[in-house]
Structure formats: structure tokens, C-alpha cells
Structure 1
Amino acid sequence: MVAAPPVVEATGVTKRYGSTTALHEAAIRIEQGQTHALVGRNGAGKSTLVSVLTGLQAPDDGVVTFGGEPAPRIADRDAWRQRVACVYQKSTIIPELTVAENLFLNRHDHGRSGLISWKTVRRKARELLDTWSVDVDVRLPAGDLDVEQRQFVEIARALSFGARFIILDEPTAQLDAAAIARLFGRIGELQRQGVTFLFISHHLQEVYEICDVVTVFRDARHVLTAPVGDLPRAELVAAMTGEAASEAGASDRAPAVHTAPVLEVTRASLPGAYEDVSFRVHAGEIVGLAGAASSGRVEIAETIAGLRAAGAGSVSIAGVRPRPGSVPAALKAGVGFVPQDRHHQGYVAQMSIADNGTLTIPDRLGPAGFIDGRRRDGFARSMIGRLAIKTPGPELPVSGLSGGNQQKVVMARALANDPELLVLINPTAGVDVRSKEFLLGKVEEIAESGAGVLVASDELDDLRLCDRVLVVFQGRVVAELPRGWHDHRLVAAMEGVDLDG
């Protein structure tokens, strides 16, 4: 008996963006009816593989087949929709349209008059949802649906094109435990009906709950594929990190002892983001907040910086409780802040280095709200020297700088008000190696000068300089690791895996 060809197979897939190799001779083989997990740390190549498997990008080298047949031409979108669909973490449902309109967007039936027959559209939508056991009123505006309902509608829409291979990209990131259980139940039902899934998740315990096979990518390459039941959790984590017992690089900086707290977070909660979070950061101490993208670590850091207001609990900066949800109040209390996305939150691209670097200190640049240009430029030149920003002068727009130098400008702005607490979110994302080393070295200097530092990141290199790391998982602080942690133990805690269990 001849075995059925795999639902999808990619072999030798390479994808480059300039000098960056996003995938290098990567491979994956997904059999009919499987729920197949794809895991890996940030930058492993997962998103690039998804873009290749869904026809959004063509590989530079390698082959993709569906059911043993070559993948369609990139331009043939209908053919791709018949073979594969992706339900992304960020919904593609249009909230202003009804469920029925979303299900049959650009596929409406027209009556003899040439006008759309909405009665027919609604009937076909109800039939489609009934076929796949999705209990949603097709007349509702899609914006009224909760996250779980939107996901089920997107799955049904994908199946309506004929696709029986569906990629689920972080499907549980915004779901509570009950909704996750229902999603897993639906996946099982659809699997029994012949639907195949590629399941991408940062929560490794979910891989063991729902998946048959797991593939690991690391550093743009395929590392292993194995049946989930045959792969111990410690070995899976080791495959993701590259070394089972790699120790954190030890810093020469002496840890802060017996210093006053510059940050006290007490039983803080923000519905849908984090719950009952308490911790301290002392003067001269570097504390890490580690966790996956949906863990709540970013929201905790943004609450401290004044971008969000906790629904309960309190935040105290150097003994002062700034008004919740107020960035100016946090700045006044002594917070310096490097946000997660420098492009949208960190700087104004067409403004000069001097203007960007002094946005937080207009009161120091002249009397009564007037800015003295010479004073501003003098401050900017000092900042350029302190942070080794490569520029012909302070008047250059930030858009003219490299990514690493742009991030140095954002750091300069954070340091301009001589903060007692520096809050950093993914501080080295998207910068070159030399800039990364420089920025992390500067963070250590700031701590040595007596400021407290909070680093919220999922990058291990960002966390190695920390005196201790608090691990956030599903909105709660679940572990605290002192300096000297092993990569595999930190990653396991971030992914929700108990290596001792």
C-alpha cells in the first residue's frame, strides 16, 4: 500500500533579506490529520516559514509541495487559499462588517438584478458555521465577537475555501483557560474530520497537550522533528536553546546590597494582562522581567512607565506614587523609559537628534517654556559623545541613523532626566551586535551609578546582566532566578514548563 503524500512539505528552504538569512535550508513535513507543533525562540525563523507556506513570499531556494504537488505560483491567491490558511494572533476579521459579510467577503451571490442577495449570503453563512459546529449569530457585527469566537469564524472561513491545512499562530495568547480548553476540543474534532494543523505556540505545555509531532527551529535552521510523546521536555527546551546547561554570562559588577528600593510594585493587576504582581527593584540593582510576548511582562513595564494604569494595587517610585496612567507623572517621579517599539513609541523620525534626545527635559533648555537652541544642541552633543552616536551633528533627523544609533537616541532621551529608575523593554531588539554590546554595557554603568534598572525582555542576552530575573507566565510572576541561571531552566520557566515535574 502506497503511503499518502504529506499535506505539506518544505525542503531546503532558504530566505534572505539583504545580509540577513531568515531561513537556511529549513525543512518541515506535516502528515495528513496531524496537529504538528512548530516551536523556537524569537528569530528562529518561524514567521518566515509561515510566510513561505502561505504563499506570501517565495523562498530564494528550496521546494514547497502540497499533497505531493508543487506549490502554486505566488500570484495565484485562490489556489493558495484552497491549500492553506493561517489564523494569526492578530485577527484579520473586519469588525465593522457582520459575521456573514466577513465569511463571504468578495464572494457574495448576486441576484438577477446584479445586486447582492444578503438573504442568500446569511443562509450560506449559517450553513457553513453549522457544518463546522461554530455557534455564532451570522448577523452580528464581527466587532461584537470575543477573541475565541473570532478565531472559530476565521477557521470556518478558511475551511470554506477548501483548505484542509490550517496554521494557528499563537492561538491561545489572548484566551483564558476555559476558552483554551474549548479551542483544543474543536481542534480535536476538526482533526478527526481530516483537518491538519500547524500549531505555533510559546507555551510548551500546550504542545504536549494538543500536538502529535513537534518541529524545532533555531537560528534560522531546522533542528529536530520528533513525536511529542517521545521527546522529554528538557530535551525540547535544550533543542530550542542550543545547549542544555549553558550558564548565564557572569557580570563583573557587584550586586546591590542593603540599598533602598527605587521601585515597589504591590499587588498590581490589569484585567487581561497581569494579576497580583508584587516585586521591588533596589538602587543599583538590575532586575529582569522575562516572559513570552503575551506573558504580561510588557504591560507590567508599561504600567510602571505610566503608559498604562493598573486596575488594582500600587506602583511607587523612590517613595512617590505617581498618578496611574500618566507618563509625565512617572517622569517627574524619576522614571526613564525605553519603549518596546522605537519606531512608533521611541522617537519622532523627522525631528533632529537634539530635539528627540531632549523631549523629556524642556524645562532645562530655557525659561518659561522657551527652548534655547544653543543649550539644547550643547546637551545633545554631550549625549552624542556619552552614547557614541555616529552622526555628523545633532541637527541630523533620527530617520537618517542606523537602527543601533536610533536606539541610542532613545536611550539618551531615557537618561536625560537623570532617572532613579530606568525601565527598558526589549532594549536591544533590531540592533547590530556592536550596538547591542554597547547598550548593555551602558545599562551596567547606569546601575553602578546608583539607579535601579528593570529590563523586560525575552532575549537571553538582555537578561544575562541582571542580578535576578522574575519570570512572568500568563500574567503572573511564577519564578525568580538569581544570577547564574542556566539557559534551559529560564526558557522552560518562560514557556510554562516545569522541568522538575
Structure 2
Amino acid sequence: MSVHVEARNVTKRFGPTVALNGAGIAIAEGETHALLGRNGAGKSTLVSILTGLQAPDEGEVLFSGEAAPALADRDAWRRRVACVYQKSTIIPTLTVAENLYLNRHQTSGRLIRWGALRRSARELLDRYGVDVDASALAGDLGVEQRQLVEIARALSFGARFIILDEPTAQLDGPAIERLFERMRALREQGVTMMYISHHLDEVYEICQSVTVFRDARHVVTRPVSELPHDELVAAMTGEATTAYQARSRTPGTSVAISATGLSLRDRYQDVALEVRAGELVGLAGSGSSGKVGLAETLVGLRRADTGTIVINGTAVKPGDVPSALGAGLGFVPQDRHHEGFVPLLSIAENATMPIAHKLGRFGTVFPSRRRARAVQMIEDLDIKTEGPDQPVGDLSGGNAQKVVLARALSDSPAALVVINPTAGVDVKAKQSLLGAVEDAVERGAGAVLVSDELDDLRICDRVLVMFHGRVVKDVPRGWSDPELVAVMEGMEE
């Protein structure tokens, strides 16, 4: 089988930092090839080089044996490669058709031929089996549909090599399987794919080969079938890594979070829950179960149509985030990019936002106090950074998520709501994040953990499973994967 894409002996430096050190990858035509590595291993830098956003300091990139185009020739790059990023590049205020042919509108003189545009969009979507209305507003699409539209747009340029960067980070189980079905169909049509993920089970399911980077260097390339799970983890981390072990604990008697009669149209109905101090309760279910909407209601991001919420003994104002925070609640949102941090602000500024009023007098913040608190947070959560003044936007995904969690924990909350805390982060970062949540619970916080990953939910004292907007079962610790999945998919109550 011929090599479709190859990076040879690539080195890339950013000042004193060596992002890639003689690294490389070779991807055969028509295969799905995984690129793995911990955050900071060099994956994102390689993606930027393979897509022509940056040139390597040393080394070369080849497409079907030919040298890559000049960086300035963007059309030539689009004909060779496209990337579907974890953070969508779809413009929500435009229709699907307009997104597919942005800056490539068919015109008659100076006028856009809207009918022809929509017909071309429908033909493109049909060709690649994307069941989306070309006239629909892109902002109304779900995450799964937006990703498929981005794949179709990439293929419309003629690219036969697609990079998928953490495509399942915000998808539930059925949506992931539908994505994999489309990927298998594209592979049968001869499309080559590079797949980046922190979910190793997905790599074994969808990929034929795997390459691992560690500390900016190439470590191994092997067929997936010849690389056992333990060896793969060891290649990524430099050591054997075991699954995170949940701690045993005894919850207190006081109630940290309680909700009664919560209902929100089209999301969930008549939900009641009670989380005691020192207790960690999981929320599980499919993407349509209502679990995220319920969690966002608890913190005030959504306003329930009916019901009451009490945080640490205080009835909070419905749909009011300051009211929930004032009652002693900490929160890690689902989308760290849009809701979790301000990328241009420093680690210190982001992490201490909830306690800024405690770091000075008369409405001012003493920089020395803020810096000292930030230094302690960096140490507690093992945030890999140049220091507290580094902008959060410059951090890897796992370290940025640690800053978001640091902010949630900054005021020693009595209650904690955490949504998908380990999405898009590596094995070591997952352990650190889950450990920090358990630390908070052991200090007396009552916590709700929402996650699409079963391994995250193992640290919970019990798991509430939601199905079609209702809590259908309270599952105690010690469950098996088949048992929990059966309830989540509505096969058992």
C-alpha cells in the first residue's frame, strides 16, 4: 500500500521550546491512522505543519511522494488536506449550504445563484451520506451534525486526507458509533484519515495503525492489532499506567445540594436529587437524557420551569449563576473554550476570579496575593506552565482544564458541579483532575459529576442514570459496564 502522507524528521521550535524534535509519521493511502500522545507531546504542532499553517524548521512533508505546496498557496493545501477540529469552525449564523461553499459561491455577474448553491450543497451532503438540511441554520445543528458538515466541506475541496482532532469529545455513545460508520464508509471510498484522541478504546475500534509521540519525539508506529493496551499506554507515558482507583469514604449527614420537582421543557421532567456533604454523585445518560441540562440548571445557567434548588442550606434564585455561587457552589462547565476561561487572561487572573474580592481592599486586587494563590493552585493541581502569568490560551487542553477546576475550587466550595471534566485530556491529566474532585469531596463538599466516560463515574459513591429526561435508576458503587450501559440505553430500569 502506497504512502499518502508523510512527515520526515520534522523539527519545530518556538523560542527555547522544542515542540517537535526529529519527529515523523507515515500514513498509508486509505487507512485510518491514530496519532496519540499526552498533552504537550507535539500532536497539535504536527497538525499545524500537515495543514500548512506553519513550516517546519527542519524536515519535510510529502503528499503521495510530492513535496508539500508553499504555505501561501492555500488552495493547494485545501486540495490535499483538511482538519476537523474539536472546536467547530462552522459559522452558526449562516446556513449549512453557505458554510459548505463559503467564499466559493456560484455567481451570475455580481449576484449569488442561491438556487444553484443549495442544489450543490444537497448533492454534496447526499454523496457523503450526511443527513442534514442544506437550508438549515448551522447554529441549530447538534455537535454531531456540525462535524459531519465540516467533513463534507473538507471533501468538497477535493482533499482525500482528513485530520480528525478529538471528534468524539462532545458526543455520546450512539453519536460516536454513527460517526464511526461514516468514517468506515469514507475509508471504503479511499479517504485517508489521521485520528487524534485520548480515548484508547476508540483507537482499537476505528484505526488500523497508530503512531505515538512523547516529549516532542516519535516513539513508535505499529499496526493497532499488534500493540497491546498496556504497551500503548507505556509508550504514551513512558511508564505503565493503571486505571484510576476510586477512594472509599463515608458521606456526612448535612445536605450540600438538593433539588425538588425540577422540570424544563424538552430537557427533563420532575427531577429530585439530594447530595450530602462529602458525597460524590454521578449523572449518566445519553446526549438526549437531560443530564447536562439538569447540571446547568443546578448552577443557574438554565432556569427550570418548575421546582426548587437549595445549595448548602440556601434556596437559590432560579436561573441565576451569582446566586448559586454566593451559596457556596463551584462549577466546571461542559465547554471550557466558551464558558471555562478567558484565553488572553493569565492563569492567576482566571483561577482567582471567584475570590478577587478577597485579594485586596476597596475594590482592588493585590497582585502579590493573587500570584501567591495562583502558585499554590498550580502546585496543587500540577499545572504544567511557565508560571502564573502565562495566558491560559497558551496551555494544552489538559492544563487549561486544570485551571478551570482550580477556579471552581478556589473558594473552598460546599457544593461542586462538574461536567465532562476529562473530555479531551490525556491519561495523566485525567488522574489529576479526578483526584482533585475527590480531594474536594473529602474536604466536605457535596459534588455532582456529569460524564460520558464510564471510567470517570467509577469514583462516584452512586450514579443517577437519566433516560429521556427522567432519573430512572440510582446505581450504587460497584456496577459493571454492561449493567450501567443497559440502564443508560433504556434496556433496564
TM range (shorter): 0.5 to 0.7
Of the candidates 348, 373, 376, which is equivalent to residue 387 of structure 1?
373
1:10 corresponds to which of 7, 10, 19 = 7
2:215 to 210, 219, 222: 219
Instruction: Indicate conservation of the 8 Å contact 1:142/1:150, yes or no.
Output: yes
* Structure 2 match to 1:160: 156
> Take 2:263 and 2:127, find their aligned partners in 1: how far apart are those partners?
40
SS at match of 1:403: coil
What is the match of residue 389 of structure 2? 402
Q: Provide TM-score, normalisation by structure 1.
A: 0.64
One of 81, 105, 108 as aligned partner of 1:108: 105
Cα distance in 2 for residues equivalent to 1:226 and 1:471: 38
Partner of 1:41: 38
Larger mean Cα displacement after TM superposition, 53-62 or 381-390: 381-390
1:31 alignment partner, one of 25, 28, 31: 28
Residues 295-345 of structure 1: CA distance to partner in whole angstroms, max 9, x if unpaired? x99999876655567899997644455445433332332235688969976
Task: Please point out which of 325, 333, 336 is paired with 2:327.
Answer: 333
Structure 2 CA distance, aligned partners of 1:93 and 1:37?
24
- The Cα shift of 1:164 comes to 0.6
Offset from partner CA, 1:446-474 (integer Å, 9 cap, x none):
999x654879899xxxx9xxx98999999
Instruction: Report the equivalent of 1:492.
Output: none
Shift of 1:151: 2.9
User: Equivalent residue of 1:105, what SS?
Assistant: coil
Residue 265 of structure 1: CA displacement?
9.1
Alignment partner of 1:193 out of 174, 177, 189: 189
Supply the distance in 1 between the matched residues of 2:267 and 2:139 (Cα, whole angstroms).
20
1:231 to 199, 215, 227: 227
**SS of structure 1 residue aligned to 2:59:** strand
Q: What SS is found at the alignment partner of 1:23?
A: strand
* Contact kept? 2:230, 2:241, Cα under 8 Å: no
Question: What residue ranges of structure 2 are gaps of 5+ in the alignment?
Answer: 377-386, 393-399, 423-431, 479-493
Q: 1:499 corresponds to which residue?
A: none
1:14 Cα deviation (Å)?
A: 2.4
Q: How does 1:136-175 map to 2 (within 5 A)?
A: 136-175=132-171
Query: C-alpha deviations, 1:379-430, integer Å up to 9, x for none?
Result: 958945963879xxxxxxxxx97139999999799756x7545779989xxx
Give the CA deviation at 1:288.
12
CA distance in 1 between partners of 2:206 and 2:219 (Å): 21
Is the CA contact 1:46–1:217 (under 8 Å) kept in the aligned structure 2?
yes
SS in 2 for 1:159: helix
Distance 1:297 1:227 in 2: 38
Secondary structure at the counterpart of residue 190 of structure 2: coil
In the TM superposition, residue 67 of structure 1 has moved relative to its aligned partner by 0.7
Which deviations, in whole Å up to 9, do the C-alpha atoms of 1:132-185 show, x marking residues without a partner? 344444344334444333333322222222211111222233434443333222
**Which residue in the other structure is 1:432 paired with?**
none
* Residue 67 (structure 1) aligned with residue 53 (structure 2): no
The residue aligned with 2:118 is: 122
Contact conserved, 1:422 with 1:451, CA < 8 A, in 2? no
Aligned-partner Cα distance in 2 for 1:11–1:240: 20
- Could you tell me which residue of structure 2 aligns to residue 52 of structure 1? 49
Q: Match for 1:179: what amino acid?
A: A
SS in 1 for 2:211: strand
Bigger Cα Rg: 1
Aligned equivalents of 1:312, 1:237: Cα separation in 2: 47
Rounded to whole Å, the distance in 2 between the matches of 1:169 and 1:212 is 17
Partner SS for 1:8: strand
Question: What is the distance in 1 between the residues matched to 2:146 and 2:447?
Answer: 35
SS for the counterpart of 2:88 is: coil
Task: Please say if residues 268 and 310 of structure 1, whose CA atoms lie closer than 8 Å, have aligned partners that are also in contact.
Answer: yes
Q: CA distance change for structure 1 residues 173 and 330 in 2, over 3 Å: closer, same or farther? A: same
Amino acid at match of 2:390: G
**Residue 106 to residue 217, structure 1, CA distance change in 2 (3 Å):** same
Contact 1:360 1:413 in 2 (8 A): no
Report the identity percentage: 51
Does the aligned pair in 1 maintain the 2:257–2:446 contact within 8 Å? no
Residue 72 of structure 1 aligns with an amino acid whose one-letter code is P
- Would the aligned equivalents of 1:358 and 1:413 in 2 still touch at CA under 8 Å? no
| 1:327 maps to amino acid | V
Task: Give SS of 1:29's match.
Answer: strand
Name the SS of the counterpart of 1:82 in structure 2: helix
- Whether the 8 Å contact between 1:297 and 1:472 is mirrored in structure 2 is no
Question: CA RMSD, aligned part only?
Answer: 5.7
1:212 shift after superposition: 0.9
Give unmatched runs, 5+ long, in structure 1.
366-372, 391-399, 428-436, 483-501
Q: CA deviation at 1:70?
A: 1.2
